Every structure is written in C-alpha cells, then in structure tokens.
Amino acid sequence: MIDSFDLGGAQTFLLEFTRNLDRSRFIAEVAAMHGHGVFESAFQEAGIVTHSLSPGKWPPLYLPNFLELMRRGKFDILHFHLFGANLCAKPLAILAGHPAIIVHDQCNDASREERRLLLAADALANRGASRVIAVSESVRRYLLDREGLDDEGVAMIPNGVDATTFHPPGDEERRAARLKMGLPEGNFVIGGVGRLVAQKNFSLFLEVAATVIKSHPEVNFLIAGSGPLEGELHRQVQALGLTGKVFFSGHVTDRLALFHALDALLMPSIFEGTPMTLLEAMASGLPVVASSVDGIGEVCTHGVDALLVRQGDGKGFLHALQRILDDDTLGKRLGANARQTILARYEIRMLTRKIEDLYTVVLQEY
C-alpha cells in the first residue's frame, strides 16, 4: 500500500523490490490510495496486480475501498509505504486485527516535527505494526528516540538498486543518451534528479549553478523531475540569467539514459532517507556531490565514493564541484568507488532477500 503511483523514490524502490521478490514464495499486489500515476503501468508490465482505490485525495474513497480490498484479498502481509498510507490505511488494518503489518519509513519527514499531532499519530499506529523497516540508521534512531518504538521492532534495511540495469556507460551509450536527452555532446553536464519540492533544495542547486557557470562556461546543468515548484524554478533560471545553460527534462522514464547522459550528480537535499537517485547514480559510476544528511551520510564516505557537504553550505557545494571539474581523475575515482559501494552493500537482490526474511519471521509469529 502506497500513497500514489506518482513520481518518487519510494515508488521506484517498491517497483524494484516487487520485481525481485521470489515469486515461488511471495505474490505481490500493489495498491495506491488514489490516482493512476506514471508508475502504475510499470508495475503492470512487471506482472504485478495494481489497485487504485480512489480517483483523487477527496473525497477519501480509499478508506472504504481499502477495507473492501483487505477483506476480499485475504492478504497474509500488509506492507505500508509513505506517510499518507501509513496514517490513513494502516490504522484501519490495525483496527481490523490484521496479524502481519509491515511499515516502511523512508525518511525523517519534517512534517512530523512541524506538526506534533502527526508525530503522535504515527507513533501510536506504528506500535500496532508487526515490524517497522527504516531505510537508514538515522531514520531508525528517529523512530526509537522520537516515537519511542522498541528496538527489536525496528529493522534497518536500506533501499537498493539493480546494479545490472544501472551501470557505467560506454562511449556509444553516452552519445546515445546525450542525443535522447537533448544535451550538448561535448559539454560537462551536472544533474539534479528528484521531485521539485522544497526538500530537494533545487533553489540552492540553481544558485550554485550560476556561480559554477561564471568560471566554467562550458558546463551545463540539468534538472530532471516534476513537482509543485517547477514554475518557481523556471523563474529563478531566468532571474539568474541561466537560460540556455540549465535544462529541464520533466519526468524521465528512461532513468538509465538519464544517468548515462550526466557527468556528475548534485544533491543539496535538506533531508533524505536512502535516496534512490543517489543509489542509481552511484551504480552508474557517477561522481556525486551531496548534502551529508541522514542516509546520504551513511551510504557515502567523503572523499572515497562521493564529496559530502554540510547541508545548506552553498560555498561548500561550489568548492566540491570545482574540484571535480578541475581534476578529471578525481571524478573517475569517486565514480568507480561509488559503484563498488553499491555492489557491496546496496544491490536490490540482496536487500530483497532481507525483507523476505523479515516477512518469514513475521508470518511465523502468527
């Protein structure tokens, strides 16, 4: 159960996880609370049954429809992803007495700190779950310290990526990707990938871009994603005089081509869990410059497989990018090490087996 089939890292992870489930043991169906977003067809193409429980957020038809789906489906396990599904559908499952409820917590969502009622509601509902999966140790510590959950009830299992799909490109793959993305073949391209929301801090991304381009006019920037701040970011590009230097691609379906078209990834996020964008870029052999927050700081080692910068430090991001631009060997070394980090710790098949093992334990408890 997830909020929607719209663009997002949680949807990306859920698709890869369900694709890689051992289908001799587990049959997955995926329900979204509302809408028919870009991911619904991807789940269906992977042979996964999907359900959209309401045309939109209002009226909340997903509530009675979820109860009906739960009754009709007779599911052994209910696995909840993202805040809306956890706050709305999960309590119904608990009240209905379902014996195997798994909660997936993707990040230290700022809304829980800004609205303490949400924090209390989430904590109360999580106590009725069989297990909570935290995607990073920082998320796990948040659940233990701020929600008061029991240590044994919270498992840390990070997100993962298919490292056979996401791989470093050859020369021809890179040329084809640049052509597909409409990017200059010879320029150095720095990308930002994600929903266009405040959390991702694309405003700072553009401020850094403006300064980089002054000293390196051969550099272009690409923002890939969609969201409510798109219009505001376009206006910022015009105000900074970056028209023709910063490209917007919108939502990109072919994420492999996206990463093959880039030379580096810039992630100035305010908070994160274990972002799929980071894992996909690292698997693709890209050098990454990112905020040293939450799961990013747990995945990456500064100076080894990424350059990490204190959150909000524009000069720090600028200095890190200039290091990569001025030293080609640094970027290649970071990218090669990043892929090795993924292969060792964040390959989706290995992490899917860990969740399957958790499913097995929970099923044995009832």
Predicted confidence (pLDDT) per residue in 189-202, tens digit? 999 999 999 999 99
Is residue 4 a part of any domain in this protein?
A: no
- Read off the pLDDT of residues 284-329 as tens digits, 9 standing for 90 and up: 999 999 999 989 999 999 999 999 999 999 999 999 999 999 999 9
CATH label of the domain that carries residue 312: 3.40.50.2000
Residue with the two structure tokens 């659940």: 143
Predicted local distance difference test score (pLDDT) of residue 83: 87
Amino acid at 281: A
- Contact of 125 with 119, CB cutoff 8 Å: no
Domain that holds residue 262: 171-345
Average pLDDT of span 19-25: 97
Predicted local distance difference test score (pLDDT) of residue 110: 64
In terms of domains, do 181 and 327 share one?
Answer: yes
In terms of domains, do 193 and 326 share one?
Answer: yes
DSSP 151: G
In terms of domains, do 238 and 305 share one?
Answer: yes
In terms of domains, do 295 and 352 share one?
Answer: no
Q: What is the pTM of this model?
A: 0.94
φ and ψ of 327, to 5 deg: -140, 95
In terms of domains, do 13 and 120 share one?
Answer: yes
In terms of domains, do 149 and 228 share one?
Answer: no
Angle at the Cα of 222 (from 221 to 224), degrees rounded to 5? 160
- Contact of 40 with 29, CB cutoff 8 Å: no
**Average pLDDT over the chain, rounded to whole?**
96
Burial of residue 123, with CB atoms counted within 10 A of its CB: 0-12 exposed, 13-18 middle, 19 or more buried? middle
Look at strands 154-156 and 131-134 and give their pairing: parallel
- Read off the pLDDT of residues 84-129 as tens digits, 9 standing for 90 and up: 899 999 999 999 999 999 999 998 766 677 778 888 988 999 999 9
In terms of domains, do 113 and 255 share one?
Answer: no
In terms of domains, do 114 and 251 share one?
Answer: no
Name the residue among 108, 257, 240, 236 with its Cα closest to residue 181.
257
Query: Residue 53 is encoded by which pair of tokens?
Result: 């429980």
